[in-house]
Amino acid sequence: MKYFIAANWKLHKTRAETREFLRSFIPAVQEVTDVDIVIAPPFTALSAAADEIKDSNIQLAAQNVFWEEKGAYTGEISPQMILDAGCKHVIIGHSERRQYFSEEDVIINRKIKAAKKAGLGVIFCVGESLEEREAGKTFDVIKREVEAGLSDVDSDNLVVAYEPIWAIGTGRTATAEQAQEIHAYIRKILGNVYGNKANDVRILYGGSVTPDNVDSLMACKDVNGALVGGASLKPESFAKIVGFKKEK
């Protein structure tokens, strides 16, 4: 299975900064053929990014999407608009959206359906908080989020990202064993719905991934890529992550 490594830039980078990043990142990864390399800039930088990545091996993703195609929804962006801006994928269900923007499972499910219907690939995020982990609720939370988010959704063009909230932006990465345990569990839940097709769904790990820990995480059987925040903002560091040592 081809690895999938995505940069989630969150609320970072102007158009000029996006162009500057890509002008140094694209040459650094141009030989990489065994990884789907994806960048998710803020909406305002998407067209500058689309312009820079022409004829490269980089794909674009948006960080959010609304579920309607058009209408009186001030401030929202439709799946069709995202496609039109040059994106192939969209991140949905990120814990920051769940936490700060009250996006609940039903909203996330609606967004996933609309994005897939429009032909976008979906990077669907799930993950437990520190309190939930310490209370022994990790498996229950993951099961609920996966089942609710993917209700009536097929497995085509779907990537799932396991992002333990306690590891996001904290420098506290899950160990390879912790990641593998939850990835295998996610694969099992996907198997209940998709059967053998669950083996084709790429499951990414996210949460303080760096050039130093990427090799051991990617070596896990059920880890098929990474969703990277902080360490994706510098071209050298993200290029090192994309060029991790492949040995499964």
Query: Using N-to-C axis directions, what is the helix angle for 176-194 and 138-149, rounded to 10°?
Result: 40
Residues that bind ligand PGA (CB under 6 A): 8, 163, 168-169, 206-209, 227-231
Cβ neighbours of residue 193 closer than 8 Å, sequence gap 6 or more: 147, 150, 155
Tell me the CB-side half-sphere exposure of residue 209, using CA atoms within 13 A. 34
Cβ proximity to ligand PGA, 78 vs 95, nearer residue = 95
Q: Least Å distance between CB 100 and ligand PGA?
A: 12
Using CB atoms, what's the residue nearest to ligand PGA?
A: 229
89 annotated active-site: no
Q: Least Å distance between CB 185 and ligand PGA?
A: 20
Cβ proximity to ligand PGA, 209 vs 239, nearer residue = 209
Query: Using N-to-C axis directions, what is the helix angle for 235-242 and 15-29, rounded to 10°?
Result: 40
Cβ proximity to ligand PGA, 145 vs 163, nearer residue = 163
Q: Least Å distance between CB 106 and ligand PGA?
A: 22
CA distances from 89 to 12, 37, 128, 216 (A): 19, 11, 24, 26
163 annotated active-site: yes
Which one from 103, 132, 145, 163 is the annotated catalytic residue? Answer: 163
Cβ proximity to ligand PGA, 59 vs 78, nearer residue = 59
Cβ neighbours of residue 162 closer than 8 Å, sequence gap 6 or more: 125, 126, 127, 142, 179, 182, 183, 186, 203, 204, 205, 206
Which one from 52, 94, 103, 128 is the annotated catalytic residue? Answer: 94
Catalytic amino acids? 94, 163
